Amino acid sequence: MLPVIVPRHPQRFEAVAQWLNSQSLRVHRASLGGVVAADAQVILVDAMGQLQQWYRLAVVSMVGGSWHDVGGHNPLEALAVGQAVIFGPHTENFHDVYAQIEQDNLGQRCASLQQAWETAITWLQDSQLANSTYQQRSMRARQFMQTQQGSAARTLVQLLPWLPKGLAASESFVDVTGATQWAESSQQPNLPNHWWSTSEQPGLDVSKQTTAGRGRVRIMSWHSDTDSFAIARHYQRGGLVAKLMDDRFLHEASHRSRAMREWQLLREMRSQGLPVAQPLAARYAASGIVYRADLLMAWIPDTCTLAQAVAADSPLLKTHAFRAQPSLAWQAVWQSIGQAVARLHAAQVHHSDLNAHNILVQTECEPETISRQVFIIDFDRCERRADAAFKAENLQRLLRSLRKEHRLGKAPLWDETHWLLLTQAYNAFAVTHPA
């Protein structure tokens, strides 16, 4: 019999090793690798992530933390691989699980370590016999774990009534290149690799490329039988680091990647009716220690950026409303922008780069219509926050952006009175729609 000890906390690895050595035991430390020596008396698993592997190799499993008044440790990992368990009297942390273990005879509670050791020897002897009690326990342990599966699905059923209405179902795929794709279930699944290419491809009906928002995006036909278009954005780095890593980011789990986080935030905001683009799909392509990412969104037609709207050749000036009633038309634009930002803040969404290039203003509408729809775009590295301090910071960032455009001579149609209109509309909405 060769005991295997797995300390619960990594900070205890060294202390346990020193204690075993003080007992003059020949210890094999798993962290050092190599083959276990024939004369080893104990194996110390002083490495993380190996517990289930050792459970699979074990014949008898004793769950610690239960012979001292700490409430016991989780026995489910052992049961999952068909290991019946020996445990002590202190199991308050997992009271219901241990009660079920005793009821179904999946293990044995031992009042002392001496009793536990004697039980372990008995089980070792029993394990050599055909159709033994040991083997029956092992089979029941696996059956018990099967009955415990599906907790995530059952939890989701309980949460569904509380989720935002209109949040569409989504699907995840791994495409032929090994990249992970997320997409709305109602959209085209498993998009071919050339959809995500950073260069134009024949047959995609690419209508134009634009630099609105951060980075370059491509606009292409989405459904062949309709006039709908999609925007494909390939994530690029900025600043000096872009010279070294351009479109590559240090590896992290797919759900934590830039594209997946933006895609999920857009889905949530769309379900709340916020003025943002509809996300269609996202892609995460890992390669060694880096990954590349892409996002596909529905194109918002008949719009221009706020920076374009206040430029000398503003497309708004060509519309009927701005020719007929320019003062009222401009007032409506700034009020709509103030309300759009306020709606975002009421949902506790922090936009990390709110500027004149990340706000879209409707250009085409009915001749008699004064009001304009406004959309906010580019939610890369944005997030929901619990505090309120970011709201004033967002507004100041937008103001600095407008003043910069004006100072550079790119926004001659902007003046400071417009900011007063924007903030008045923002504050009015914030009062009636508190976060």
Sign of torsion, CA 229 234 237 243?
Answer: negative
Question: What are the φ/ψ torsions at residue 430 (nearest 5 degrees)?
Answer: -65, -35
* Cα gap 248→262, rounded to integer Å: 17
Cα dist. 244→92, 106, 401 in Å? 54, 57, 28
Amino acid identity, residue 46? D
Contact 275, 343 (CB under 8 A): yes
Q: Which long-range contacts (CB under 8 A, 24 or more apart) does 296-299 make?
A: 296/191, 296/195, 296/230, 296/231, 296/232, 296/233, 297/230, 297/231, 297/233, 297/266, 298/222, 298/228, 298/229, 298/230, 298/231, 299/219, 299/222, 299/228, 299/229, 299/230, 299/231
Which tokens sit at 274? 């916020």
DSSP letters for 206-267: --EEE--SSS-EEEEES-TTSS-EEEEEE----STTHHHHTT-EE---GGGSHHHHHHHHHH
DSSP letters for 325-378: -HHHHHHHHHHHHHHHHHHHHHTTEEPTT--TTSEEEE----TT-----EEE--
- The neighbouring-strand residues paired with 234 are 294
Catalytic residue among 353, 378, 387, 415: 353
Going by the DSSP 8-state scheme, the letter that residue 278 receives in this structure is: P
Query: In the block, which residue shows the tokens 């922090």?
Result: 350
Contact 96, 70 (CB under 8 A): no
Which tokens sit at 79? 């049961």
Cα dist. 416→109, 246, 332, 334, 422 in Å? 76, 38, 16, 11, 10
Amino acid identity, residue 156? L
| Active-site residue flag, 126 | no
* Cα gap 237→303, rounded to integer Å: 26
Going by the DSSP 8-state scheme, the letter that residue 129 receives in this structure is: S
Contact 402, 414 (CB under 8 A): yes
For the annotated catalytic residues, the residue numbers are: 353
